[in-house]
Amino acid sequence: AIESQANFLLELIKRAAEESAQISQRLDSTFPARLFDSINENISSTSINDRLIGIQRKRELFMKFGIIKSEDTFIPRKFSNATLGKEYSTVLNLYISDALEKLSPYEELFEKINLFVNLLNEKMLAFKEIKISNEHGFYFQSDNGERISLSNLSSGEQNQIVIYFDLIFKAKQNSVILIDEPEISLHVAWQKEFLDSIARIQKLNEFSKIIIATHSPQIVNNNWDITYDLFENNNKNMEGQ
């Protein structure tokens, strides 16, 4: 199952790249006409510098997670009103706007990948880390740099990765999510972190409701105020009849 998750992510990355390429083609073909339309706009060098730095940081983040290729580089420079004429300001401003629009198909995907990677690397994985790739979707690497086969992960690791992946990348906004016994094959330390991780996913994807069936007090951890004891409440209902 975990191999299919990696392939699913690979398809999401490819889809974003295809959408970005279509946007690039449209914007590049209309660039001269749009440049003439905006030639009289007043643009400050401060605005240009800030936007250059912002777009470079965004590209570096996307490259870090393997979403875009490293050869797609754009190195910002410092400009001043003395060195940057009005014509150059107009060209750069339009170029930056286009570059941001070309990156827009990756925005939502990046937010999901960022959470997925952080949840696994912060809370779960010992002596290994997850890597995102536009060739493999995702894979795992040991501390000494060796690639780890997905099938060599423990059953608990695989189970947790599949749960997180499906909730982050496949579940839809406003869905009602049902999770049955997530503690199966899961280390006690991971169980204690589970609800916190689910809360972070909930914040990103805005599910309508999440219902978890569990026998594990470690899953509940310190969150007894949001639990519903089926055994206890069933007995109360029986006594009331």
Residue 81: what pLDDT? 47
Mean pLDDT in each 10-residue stretch from start to end of the chain (241 residues)? 94 96 95 85 73 88 85 51 64 89 95 96 84 92 92 89 96 95 89 94 95 94 88 61 55
Contact 196, 220 (CB under 8 A): no
Residue 82: what pLDDT? 46
Contact 112, 201 (CB under 8 A): no
Residue 38: what pLDDT? 79
Residue 21: what pLDDT? 95
Distance CA 187, CA 1 (A): 20
